[in-house]
Copies of this chain bind each other. A is one copy, B any other.
């Protein structure tokens, strides 16, 4: 049996590449995205009443992980990348059906003619993600307070110290004034969770990394247990 679905909307996210994306929704409150509904779903009526909900579920497609093969086990970063677990016991993006699930904060609903846009916070979504469904978050059904969480019972540690060089701090502050508000907060919240893949954590010789966030390559170093943001390189014009 094959089932065919069409996206009802597309994500524009602050995360422009996979590296650096938080590993669940809600971990980086400052991570923003918009979800614009595609025709023929871009009708004000289709979202009528949604603004009464603080959070929504997005059922989406891991569009950069689409493949025809699958593996029964994966190595979750939470377990240091060494231990294998069944793919259905993890939220890995590498799944038999490349479907993702995120509960994100609905900041605002923008409806203007055929433009129907959800403004979201706390996303773990890649730019360009196709969305299959939006559902309201229903606390009485979805917030299971006595659920126990196996290997991921506690939230992942997100307590790395993030420093800026004088140069990168100046660049960030200038950019905040130039139309990228909260940029510093977004970078700190993203990096303090240590986005390095597990296999790099065991190879300390590699210490220079870069994440594409908004319009910038954020270049940072992992040094003696801390993260140092060295520079932001614009994708639009010149190095900053």
Could you list which residues of chain A lie within 8 angstroms of chain B, going by C-beta atoms?
A: 1-8, 24-27, 41, 43, 45-50, 52-55, 57, 59, 61, 72-73, 84-91, 95-97, 99, 101, 103, 130, 132-155
Are A84 and B141 closer than 8 Å at their CB atoms?
no
Instruction: Jot down 16 A-B pairs with beta carbons below 8 A, ordered by A.
Output: A4-B5, A5-B99, A25-B141, A41-B72, A46-B86, A46-B87, A48-B89, A50-B150, A57-B101, A99-B132, A137-B147, A138-B149, A139-B148, A140-B152, A140-B153, A142-B147
Q: How far is the CA of A2 from the CA of B130 in the complex (A)?
A: 10
Instruction: Please pick, from B26, B45, B84, the residue contacting A48 in the complex, using a CB distance under 8 A.
Output: B84
Report yes or no: B3 in contact with A86, Cβ–Cβ below 8 A: no
Do A97 and B26 touch (CB < 8 A)? no
Instruction: Name the residue among A27, A86, A132, A155 with the largest chain B CB count within 10 angstroms.
Output: A86
19 additional A-B residue pairs with CB within 8 Å, beyond A3-B7, A46-B73, A101-B133: A3-B61, A6-B96, A8-B97, A24-B138, A26-B140, A26-B141, A26-B144, A48-B86, A48-B89, A49-B89, A50-B88, A53-B148, A136-B150, A137-B144, A138-B152, A139-B145, A139-B147, A139-B149, A140-B153
Chain B residues whose C-beta falls within 8 Å of the C-beta of A54 in the assembled complex = 144, 146-149
* Contact assessment for A49 and B86 in the assembled complex, using a CB-CB cutoff below 8 Å: yes
Interfacial chain B residues near A139, Cβ < 8 Å: 144-145, 147-149, 153
CB distance from A107 to the nearest CB of B (A): 13
B4 touches A3 (CB 8 A): yes
Asked if residues B4 and A4 are in contact (CB atoms below 8 Å), the reply is: yes
Chain B contacts for A135, CB-based, 8 A: 88, 90-91, 101
Tell me if B25 and A48 are in contact (CB < 8 A): no
Q: Are A3 and B101 in contact (CB under 8 A)?
A: no
A144 touches B144 (CB 8 A): no
Contacting residues, chain B, for A1 (C-beta < 8 A): 6-7, 130
Contact: B50 with A86, CB < 8 Å? yes
Q: A73-B46, A141-B26, A144-B26 are in contact. Are A130 and B86 (CB under 8 A)?
A: no
